[in-house]
Amino acid sequence: MTNAARKLLSTFDDRRAADTMREVLSSAGITVGGDAPWDIQIHDARVYARVLRDATLGVGESYVDGWWDCASLDQMVTRLVLSRANLVVDDSWVLLAQAVKARLFNLQIARPFEVGERHYDVGNDLYAAMLGKHMAYTCAYWKNADTLDAAQEAKFELVCRKIGLRPGMRVLDLGCGWAGFAAFAAERHGAKVVGYTVSKEQQAWSRAHHAALPVEIRLEDYRKATGRYDAVVSIGLMEHVGWKNYRSYMELAERLLAPNGVAFVHTIAGNIPRSHIEPWFDKYIFPNAVLPTLARLASAMEGILIPEDVHNIGEDYDRTLMAWWHNFDAAWPTLRARYGDTFYRRWKYYLLSCAGAFRARSQQLFQFVMTRPGTPAPRSRRG
Write down the mean pLDDT value for the chain. 90
Confidence band of 311 (pLDDT split at 50, 70, 90)? very high
Question: What is residue 103's predicted lDDT score, i.e. its pLDDT?
Answer: 52
Q: Which residue would you say has higher pLDDT here, 94 or 257?
A: 257
Q: Which of 70, 139, 176, 354 is catalytic?
A: 354
Confidence band of 107 (pLDDT split at 50, 70, 90)? low
pLDDT at 97 over 60: no
- Dmax over CA atoms of the chain, in Å, equals 80
Question: What is residue 377's predicted lDDT score, i.e. its pLDDT?
Answer: 85
pTM, two decimal places = 0.91
Confidence band of 89 (pLDDT split at 50, 70, 90)? low
Are 68 and 144 in a shared domain? no
CATH code: domain of residue 314: 3.40.50.150
Q: Which residue would you say has higher pLDDT here, 192 or 103?
A: 192
Residues 376, 262: Cα–Cα separation, whole Å? 10
Distances (CA, A) of 217 to 189, 194, 225, 241, 255: 18, 6, 11, 19, 20
Residue 153 forms part of a structural domain: yes
Residues 217, 204: Cα–Cα separation, whole Å? 9
- Can you say whether the dihedral through the CA atoms of 206, 148, 329, 56 is positive or negative? positive
Question: What is residue 125's predicted lDDT score, i.e. its pLDDT?
Answer: 98
Residue 101 forms part of a structural domain: no
Are 52 and 164 in a shared domain? no
Query: What is the total count of domains within the chain?
Result: 2
Are 61 and 117 in a shared domain? no
Domain range spanning residue 127?
110-371
The pLDDT tens digits of the residues spanning 199-228 come to: 999 999 999 999 999 999 999 999 999 999
Active site residue 160: no
Query: How many of the other CB atoms lie within 10 Å of CB of 87?
Result: 11
Residues 59, 56: Cα–Cα separation, whole Å? 5
The pLDDT tens digits of the residues spanning 33-84 come to: 999 999 999 999 999 999 988 888 999 999 999 999 999 999 999 999 999 8
Output the 3-class SS for 18-65. Answer: HHHHHHHHHHCCCCECCCCCCCEEECCCCHHHHHHHHHHHHHHHHHHC
The pLDDT tens digits of the residues spanning 145-174 come to: 999 999 999 999 999 999 999 999 999 999
pLDDT at 113 over 50: yes
For residue 239, give the DSSP letter: G
